[in-house]
């Protein structure tokens, strides 16, 4: 697919000022069903909404997660959902693609440069302007973090709009944001307090990940033992379970399970810290506003690190368990440090 779509969409010219002035309808194409990838659309949605007040944004995605993620985004209008398994629903799959032609957009945007289906949908949509997001990457020296999957589309979109260089590189990129409501946050605190003591702060851990990103039970056993030792009486430890309802620490800690993505985020939002491997739940934690420490051994932290705030990406190939504890201390409050090793 990459080979077939390599020449779909030229780098393109900058958007003309008169076109920007009339920008009212935008299509964002990100036909990928993974939780983390869809969460990383939220900075670009915020960027567009902030620059073009009153603009309506449609999303072309895969699966049903975007309706949950963008529930509280008033600027998001129509969510066009491809089935997660197109070969199981070929007729619906074709109909969804054809539905892209029903609406005329001022601008269609391919969110991820490397997405073949994103390029095709941007080309197929009925749009006056198209941005394929295939401009030459920014230098990390001039623009730190520009390779991150959540930040790169925003930087490139600013370049497409011909923004001044200082504005492109120095204006903060909006964070990952699930826009949890006050009611959702209150319910998250209530749910957390039903599992652990409300008198102490809580560290949430997530011991699962897909494929080779998942750490072994032996690794997590050592990490959990050291974390429990460091916590003393100052912290609760709450394990957030995956949809598979499995635990790499064999359910030794209080374990919270839910299939409600927004409730999971609201529970994590009430924690002092989230610790977990690179996964969709790690990005969900980042979008909740909780401090996040992401564990990386395979994937590239410069692309997938937990974006926002004082979040950290920890390379476990070069950092041992005690080093991880030291890293966690750096993102906890001054009066909430974990105890050093005995």
Q: Is it the case that residue 91 has pLDDT exceeding 60? A: yes
Q: 50 — phi, psi (to 5°)?
A: -70, -35
Single out the residue in 170, 191, 212 at which a domain terminates.
170
User: pLDDT tens for residues 6-21?
Assistant: 445 555 557 767 667 7
Angstrom distance (rounded) from CA 235 to CA 123? 52
Task: Give residue 32's pLDDT.
Answer: 94
Same domain, 101 and 158: yes
Which ranges of the chain does DSSP label H, i.e. alpha helix? 2-5, 17-21, 35-39, 42-51, 65-69, 90-99, 116-124, 152-160, 165-170, 182-193, 217-231, 261-269, 280-288, 301-304, 321-331
Angstrom distance (rounded) from CA 210 to CA 282? 12
Same domain, 165 and 265: no
The answer to whether position 244 is within a domain reads yes
The answer to whether position 119 is within a domain reads yes
At 1, is the pLDDT very low, low, confident or very high (cuts 50, 70, 90)?
A: low
The answer to whether position 177 is within a domain reads no
The answer to whether position 341 is within a domain reads no
Same domain, 153 and 209: no
Can you give the residue range of the structural domain that contains 232? 182-336
Higher pLDDT, 17 or 69: 69
Q: What is the number of structural domains in the chain?
A: 2
Same domain, 250 and 113: no
For residue 56, list its beta bridge partners.
25
The answer to whether position 52 is within a domain reads yes
Same domain, 23 and 157: yes
Task: Give residue 8's pLDDT.
Answer: 55
How far is CA 120 from each of CA 28, 185, 217, 219, rounded to the nearest angstrom? 12, 39, 42, 42
The answer to whether position 79 is within a domain reads yes
User: pLDDT tens for residues 187-243?
Assistant: 999 999 999 999 999 999 999 999 999 999 999 999 999 999 999 888 999 999 999
Task: Give residue 3's pLDDT.
Answer: 56
Same domain, 202 and 311: yes
Q: Classify residue 57 by burial, with Cβ atoms within 10 Å: 0-12, 13-18, 19+.
A: buried
CATH of the domain at 14: 3.40.50.2000
Same domain, 300 and 247: yes
User: pLDDT tens for residues 288-312?
Assistant: 999 999 999 999 999 999 998 889 9
Same domain, 198 and 290: yes
Task: Give residue 310's pLDDT.
Answer: 83
The answer to whether position 86 is within a domain reads yes
Same domain, 141 and 187: no
């Amino acid at each position: 697919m990459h080979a077939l779509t390599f020449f779909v969409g030229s780098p393109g010219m900058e958007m003309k000022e008169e076109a920007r002035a009339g920008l009212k309808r935008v299509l964002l194409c990100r036909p990928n069903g993974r939780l983390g990838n869809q969460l990383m659309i939220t900075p670009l949605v915020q960027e567009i909404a902030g620059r073009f007040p009153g603009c309506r944004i449609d999303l072309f995605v895969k699966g049903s997660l975007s309706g949950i993620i963008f529930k509280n985004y008033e600027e998001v209008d129509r969510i066009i959902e491809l089935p997660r398994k197109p070969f199981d629903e070929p007729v619906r799959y074709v109909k969804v693609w054809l539905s892209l032609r029903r609406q005329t957009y001022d601008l269609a945007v391919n969110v991820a440069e490397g997405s073949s289906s994103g390029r095709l949908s941007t080309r197929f949509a009925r749009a006056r302007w198209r941005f394929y997001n295939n401009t030459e990457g920014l230098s990390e020296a001039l623009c730190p973090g520009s390779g991150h999957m959540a930040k790169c589309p925003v930087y490139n979109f600013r370049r497409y709009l011909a923004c001044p260089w200082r504005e492109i590189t120095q204006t903060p990129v909006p964070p990952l944001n699930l826009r949890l409501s006050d009611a959702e946050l209150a319910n998250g605190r209530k749910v957390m307090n039903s599992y652990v003591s409300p008198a102490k702060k809580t560290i949430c851990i997530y011991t699962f990940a897909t494929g080779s990103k998942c750490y072994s039970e032996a690794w997590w056993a050592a990490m959990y033992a050291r974390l429990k030792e460091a916590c003393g009486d100052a912290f609760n430890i709450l394990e957030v379970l995956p949809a598979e309802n499995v635990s790499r620490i064999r359910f030794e800690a209080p374990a919270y399970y839910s299939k409600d993505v927004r409730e999971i985020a609201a529970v994590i939002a009430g924690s002092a810290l989230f610790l977990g491997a690179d996964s969709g739940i790690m990005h969900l934690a980042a979008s909740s506003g909780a401090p996040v420490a992401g564990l990386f051994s395979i994937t590239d932290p410069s692309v997938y690190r937990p974006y926002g705030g004082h979040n950290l990406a920890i390379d476990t190939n070069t950092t041992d368990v005690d080093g991880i504890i030291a890293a966690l201390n750096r993102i906890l409050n001054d009066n909430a440090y974990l105890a050093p090793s005995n």
